Amino acid sequence: MESIKEYLKRGPAKSKEIQAYTGLSQGSISTKLKAMGDKIVRIQDGRAPRYAMSREAFGGGNRIPISTVDLSGNSSIIAYLRPLLHGGFFVESVKDTPSVLLGDSLNGLYDDLPYFLYDLRPQGFLGKKIAETMASLSDGFPKNPERWNSEHIGKFLMINGDDMHGNIRLGESLLLRIPQKTTQYSRDEYQQLAQNAIAGEVPGSSAGGEQPKFAVYCKECLSHVIVKFSPTEKNEIAERWRDILISEYHATKTLQSYGFSTSDVELSEIDNQLFLESNRFDRHGAIGRSSMISLRSIDSEFVGLGENWPAVLKALAERELVKWDHVYEAEVLWHFGHYINNSDMHLGNISLAIDGDGFRLLPVYDMCSMGFAPTPGGHLRPYAFKEYDPEPLIINREVLMETKEMAYEFWENLKQDLLISEKLKKFLKLNPMG
């Protein structure tokens, strides 16, 4: 058996290849592989299966459950993660495993952590706070989540992965965990929660994005929400962030009025501090959940373009992984975003849900005039942006003009908001759409 193990350290191999290396007969190889039990991973890839050696990882053994939480809060195993001795991972399917979890090759083999688990790594403003907390608890975790490797991510998800975005969870302990009563927070507590978030106390899950925020269950609306907030200082930086939050509120309301699916949003002011509350579409009731995976992670596995919402969706549609309606919608949103000066439409700012053996587009979020945001160094950009004159991908010129009219309405609504700054009011004396 040691000779088989030594050979499989190189990577997956067929029975004939193992026979040639060991000099053993097919029957002997079959008997020995069977005797090695779950240390052996059988990979069905073509007519003849390949075999690989598993290893233990993340403190969870060599066969780690991957589960999902449904709309009612019930968990079920949808696959098993098999860490491999030669490196990488294998997703072992069960009866109802969606084929998209098996990756681009459909054989379940991954060189590193599967895209749908990598997507759950701590990221953005809240992710940095989580990484800092983990680093304070263990020297093995870097303070910067961007420096986390698959080992860090896997260990974290096994221990703390029960409240990440979406509904995928890793590890047996999360399956056995007794659901806790959901802590409810009143909107009157948002100011204190914002102070806590800045101080590094993270009450909710790791929602992405660099803007300061926290995630809680709102007592008044009886739903899970993500709450962004402006700085408390009375200066131009704080004023500019107020304008950004107000722009997100009006962009969302404009899109809703045209029939686009978005989160429900509420804008409130407490002692000169603005709070933008958005309902989470990956949470249902107190404990229910649904699928959510960023387009960035899906693109990295199935396409590889690295940018441009409609272009990536188009490539997915050509492989019948999304419907063409989603490409159309993504392109309209993409152009609308440019028309309202959203400079932050990276692939992490749009997400899909697993839908059968494909994906479907989720409601839009983080749609705002981010091009006006202060730079990381605190420099204030001018209230101006270049004219946008795109070439449509799949929509026609008529739809593009309708999108521009939608953006015109956004700017008009924003101009009439009494909460915007005097500088933004001055800029909006003339509608940027003409």
Q: Is 133 exposed, middle or buried (0-12, 13-18, 19+ CB in 10 A)?
A: middle
Q: Give the start-to-end residue ranges of the domains of the chain.
A: 1-53, 64-170, 184-284, 290-430
pLDDT at 204 over 70: no
pLDDT at 306 over 70: yes
pLDDT of 98: 97
Class in CATH terms, 1-53? mainly alpha
- What angle (nearest 5°) sits at the alpha carbon of residue 383, between those of residues 377 and 386? 100
The DSSP bridge partners found for residue 361 are 352
State the Cα–Cα distance between residues 351 and 349, nearest whole angstrom.
Answer: 7
pLDDT (tens digit per residue) in 327-337: 999 999 999 99
pLDDT of 1: 66
Class in CATH terms, 184-284? alpha beta
**Verdict on whether the full-model pTM lies above 0.85:** yes
Mean pLDDT of 218-245: 95
Mean pLDDT score across all residues of the chain: 93
Amino acid at residue number 425: K
pLDDT (tens digit per residue) in 171-203: 998 888 777 789 999 999 999 999 998 887 665
pLDDT of 377: 85
pLDDT of 252: 99
pLDDT (tens digit per residue) in 108-151: 999 999 999 999 999 888 888 889 999 999 889 999 999 999 99
Phi, psi of 223 (to 5 degrees): -155, 160
Mean pLDDT of 312-331: 98
pLDDT at 229 over 60: yes
pLDDT at 209 over 70: no
Contact 32/1 with Cβ under 8 angstroms? yes
